[in-house]
């Protein structure tokens, strides 16, 4: 079985530690823990991760957030991965910091990366792991907030939350979306 795990974010060192790049950060942690490296390929940085007879293609799109759908569609087709084996890792303003929610489908909730994926693929029935980044910003400051770096307090909690995200990715590939949602969405 083959899976496409896409961490949403923006390429470039200026975005590396921003809230909007949590998808990249999760995949970087998984790669580091597994001694695998990303290669610069078409539309993204790509690595192959093997776990319990499953192959996970890890993708960090280099198309920038607003064009993430191009990278997702290309790699789904190139690797011949079934749409139901797609998992998107994304930041979410509607969830408090550190809250994790796995969903089998949904809307874009105004997120430009999700919007692009839906436009290019023509579908919204893909799994997404939403990582809460909170909404601690003033009206009109949303862009500045998502592109700002984590606070010191948030940094202290990130590693544990990212480890849980890695468990969710592994579970998604081994026991499926429904059982993984039952197991992890109940956690605080």
- What are the residue ranges of helices labelled H in 11-139? 22-34, 68-78, 112-121
Give the active site residue among 19, 20, 25, 111: 20
- Residue 128 DSSP SS3: strand
Per the CB < 8 A criterion, the answer to whether 87 and 6 are in contact is yes
- Residue 80 DSSP SS3: coil
Within 13 Å, how many C-alpha atoms sit on residue 159's CB side? 4
Per the CB < 8 A criterion, the answer to whether 3 and 85 are in contact is yes
* Known active-site residue 111: no
Determine whether 103 is exposed, middle or buried from the number of CB atoms within 10 Å of its CB (0-12, 13-18, 19+).
Answer: middle
Which sequence positions are flagged as catalytic? 20
């Amino acid at each position: 079985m083959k899976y496409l795990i896409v961490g949403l974010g923006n390429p470039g060192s200026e975005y590396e530690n921003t809230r909007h790049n949590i998808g990249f950060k999760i995949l970087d942690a998984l790669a580091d823990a597994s001694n695998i490296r990303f290669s610069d390929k078409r539309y993204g940085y790509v690595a192959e991760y093997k776990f319990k007879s499953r192959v996970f293609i890890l993708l960090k799109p280099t198309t920038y957030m607003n064009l993430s759908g191009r990278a997702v569609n290309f790699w789904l087709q190139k690797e011949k991965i079934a749409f139901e084996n797609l998992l998107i890792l994304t930041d979410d303003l509607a969830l408090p910091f550190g809250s994790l929610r796995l969903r089998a489908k949904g809307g874009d909730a105004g997120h430009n990366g999700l919007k692009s994926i839906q436009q290019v693929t023509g579908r919204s029935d893909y799994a997404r792991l939403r990582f809460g980044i909170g909404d601690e910003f003033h009206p009109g400051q949303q862009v500045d907030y998502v592109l700002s770096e984590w606070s010191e307090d948030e940094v202290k909690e990130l590693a544990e939350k990212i480890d849980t995200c890695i468990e969710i990715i592994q579970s998604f590939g081994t026991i499926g979306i429904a059982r993984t949602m039952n197991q992890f969405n109940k956690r605080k």
